[in-house]
Amino acid sequence: MEGLDRKLGVFSALPIFIVLAITFLAPLFVVAAFSIMPAKVFSLANVPDFSAYATFLQQGYWKSLAWSLGMAFASTLLLFIVCWPLAYGMAKVFGKFTLVVTIAVVVSLFVSENIRLFGWVLTLMKGGLIAGYLEAWFGVEMESPLYTVPIIVFGLVYVYFPFMLFPLAQGIAMVPDDARQAAADLGASRWRILWEIDLPLAAPGIVVGSLLSFVLAAGALAESKLLGGQAVIVFADEIETAFTYGQNWPLGSALSMVLILIVGSLAIVGVSKIDLDAIMGRKR
């Protein structure tokens, strides 16, 4: 019976595996292949050439990589802190009201990211919504927060909010109430319960949420362009420039590969540390 189950499992997984191979793995291979191609050749029949990677190391691309990863880290951390109370409420306190919160957050996804970010630009810009009203009502003049690093991080937090919130709520829902009660009964304070019980038992949700937010934020482009006005150049920006303006496909591919490797290994380490089945639904 078990052998049959195993075979059926393989067969059931086959269609999605084929789809993933064509749409996900194949493009990755193409990018990998481009990254070891000599510049301006556009043919695969060449001796592998790693000069694009050398360019990455020599020409200061690591700076924009550091900005991207740093801001992704900052926004992930902020997202975790901001989302935890709300996720806790959704999982344990709100009851039916959770649905309202869910809908409210999901609805924001219906509007394209760029348009929402433009909305923030209009709100925050010099003489924009906030600055304009402040001046008209109170006579206060305000510097626009736009075109700075903090506002880029704010944009990342704003855009990737749902990606942290929902996995976190799912993770917190898995923390058994009686374990929290027992910990309290055995003398633990709220903070101790958070540290000893909530955080470790919600770990799958925390890891999934953090990975999603971090990976997306590390490759984000629009926030730094629209809100940041390129106060700093993020890594995704460098990649785009290499492919378009620079017409240096091997360089663009090599930069992409660097990001993919960093983010991919983070994801693998993260996922291997947690029990994904716990959050995705238990295996039989």
By CB under 8 A, name the binding residues for other proteins.
176, 178-179, 181-189, 192, 196-197, 200-201
Confirm if 76 and 274 have CB atoms less than 8 A apart.
no
Helices (H), ranges, the chain:
2-20, 26-35, 51-58, 61-88, 97-108, 113-124, 129-138, 149-173, 177-185, 190-193, 199-201, 203-218, 222, 235-243, 249-273, 276-280
Smaller CB separation from other proteins, 203 or 254? 203
Decide whether 78 or 179 has the Cβ nearer to other proteins: 179
CB of 178 to other proteins, least distance (A): 4
Give the nearer residue to other proteins in terms of CB position, either 260 or 274: 274
Taking the complex as a whole, how short is the minimal distance between the CB of residue 176 and other proteins, in angstroms?
Answer: 7
Q: How many CB atoms lie within 10 A of CB 55?
A: 17
Q: Output the smallest distance, CB 155 to other proteins, in A.
A: 35
Residue whose pair of structure tokens reads 């420039």 in the numeric block: 241
Least CB distance to other proteins at residue 180 (A)? 9
- Backbone phi and psi for residue 39, each to the nearest 5 degrees, phi listed first: -60, 145
The contacts of residue 49 (CB under 8 Å, 6+ apart) are 36, 37, 38, 250
> Quick one: 50 or 195, whose CB is closer to other proteins?
195
Specify the residue, 188 or 266, whose C-beta has the smaller distance to other proteins: 188
* C-alpha span between 123 and 132 (Å, rounded): 9
- The least distance separating other proteins from the CB of residue 199, rounded to whole angstroms, comes to 10
DSSP state of 37: S
